[in-house]
Amino acid sequence: MAKKSITAPPSFEATLKELENIVSLLESGELPLEEALNEFEHAVKLVQQGQERLQNAEQRIQILLNKNEQAELTDYN
């Protein structure tokens, strides 16, 4: 039995690049309707993934800022 390999999701930048490529394809007007709809559907999923990553990054930043505010300043002199 073959093992399934787990691959890491693409980076935010890779997702954005793929989304830009899809937008270019759709704007060209050269895709048949069904293919354009499939590309649009894929683009919507990519946008959702990108939004999730941005929200996660925002939460991480907020946690770091909160930790920084709670830290006591120490004089090292």
> What residue spans define the domains of the chain?
12-69
Residue where the block lists tokens 């399934």: 4
Q: Cα(26)–Cα(28) distance, rounded to whole angstroms?
A: 5
Q: What is the identity of the amino acid at 23?
A: V
Q: What is the DSSP string of 37-50?
A: HHHHHHHHHHHHHH
- Express each pLDDT in 43-59 by its tens digit: 999 999 999 999 999 99
Mean per-residue pLDDT, 34-41: 98
Distances (CA, A) of 3 to 6, 8, 17: 9, 16, 30
Q: Higher confidence at residue 48 or residue 10?
A: 48
Residue 29 is classified by DSSP as: T
